[in-house]
Amino acid sequence: MTNSKMTCEAFDAALPDYLEGTLDDSMRASVETHLRECVRCAGVVRDIENIRHDAADLPDLIPARDLWAGIESRIAAPVIPLAARPERQRRFAPAWMGVAAAALIVSTAGITYMLTSRSLGSRQDQAVAQVSPTASQVDAAPAQQAPDNSLASAPSQTAGGNSASPALAVRTPTQRGGTQVSLASRDIQTGPSHSDVVYAREIEMLQGIVKQRKTQLDSSTVAIIEKNLQIIDTAIEQSKAALAKDPASRLLTEQLTHALDKKVELLRTAALMPAST
């Protein structure tokens, strides 16, 4: 094709590279010759140059309302009333679910911290004063162990406080906002222990969040999380069974604490995980 015989179709094909400045010298010369001869194609180039110029000079847009209030409320991580949670979450668009989850986790972690901190003194005293039960005492109360097991699989039963479980001494959380509850000793008592309730509440809340976020997460990620939760639940059950036979065992107590903490940690991570893309 010669300079003087470039067609408009050929010009159209060369136009993107011409505008990008990536044509070789001979092709660029052909295009420029064609532009001098063709009013239609010269108009196209002129219009596009005007659009480029105008686009670069577009003024900033101003929001119709002040958006800061909405941002501030979100970064302040307000405590969301637990009773209102299901209703609020139904109103949220998927993009807000992660924020709601974070806010709920912060609120439950805060509650956990306050509860465990408040009861620290009295619990430590009890842990020293109480006498560990004998194996026969534990065996004689199998029904009291059941809700403790349900902590892992169905925490809502324990959270409801329908039955008793071994007492758990509580220590101060070691992490900011964490659910660090230590089972320093285990004793028979008539109602659900404070720590049982704290763990059950935390786990129940987190499981609720994770359940609602399931559809937003990658299916293989969900499968791995569920598999790991099963492993942790098995560890919790085994620790509880062993503790039923040896309630004074510090090692077993720590194992159970560790497993429960792992479960909370995994659920919290899953709840805060970004939606799959």
Partner 1 sequence: MPAASNAVRVAMGDSTDVALAAGGDRQAFERLYRAHATRVYSLCTRMSGSRAQGEELTQDVFVRTWEKLPQFRGESAFSTWLHRLAVNVVLNARKTEGKQASRTEENDVDDERWDVRARAPMHIERMDLADAIAKLPAGARRVFVLHDVEGYKHEEIAEMCGITSGGSKAQLHRARLLLREALER
Exactly one of 40, 65, 90, 176 binds partner 1 (CB under 8 A); that residue is 65
- Shortest distance, CB of residue 48 to partner 1, whole angstroms? 5
Residues 87 and 25: their CA atoms lie apart, in Å, by 66
Single residue of 25, 26, 40, 58 touching partner 1 by CB under 8 A: 58
Cα distance between residue 217 and residue 250, in whole Å: 38
Which residues, numbered 194-233, are part of the site for partner 1 (CB under 8 A)? Answer: 216
DSSP label at residue 176: T
Q: How far apart are CA 20 and CA 37, in angstroms?
A: 21
Residue 277 interacting with partner 1 (CB under 8 A): yes
- Strand partners for 168: 186
Q: Is position 135 an interface residue for partner 1 (rule: CB under 8 A)? A: no
Give the 3-state secondary structure of residue 44.
helix
Question: Binder to partner 1 among 79, 128, 241, 275 (CB under 8 A)?
Answer: 275
Binder of partner 1 out of 76, 140, 223, 224 (CB under 8 A): 76
We find the least distance from the C-beta atom of residue 44 to partner 1, in angstroms, to be 7
Binding track, positions 2-41, relative to partner 1; x by CB under 8 A: -------x--xx-xx--xx---------------------
Question: In the complex, what is the shortest distance from the CB of residue 99 to partner 1, in angstroms, rounded to a whole number?
Answer: 7
Rounded to 5°, the CA angle 155-85-89 comes to: 115
> What are the residue ranges of helices labelled H in the chain?
8-20, 25-37, 39-56, 68-75, 85-91, 94-118, 120-129, 135-139, 142-153, 155-159, 194-213, 219-245, 250-272
Q: Contact residues for partner 1 (CB under 8 A)? A: 9, 12-13, 15-16, 19-20, 43-44, 47-48, 50-52, 54-56, 58, 60-65, 67-68, 70-72, 74-76, 94-95, 99, 216, 275, 277
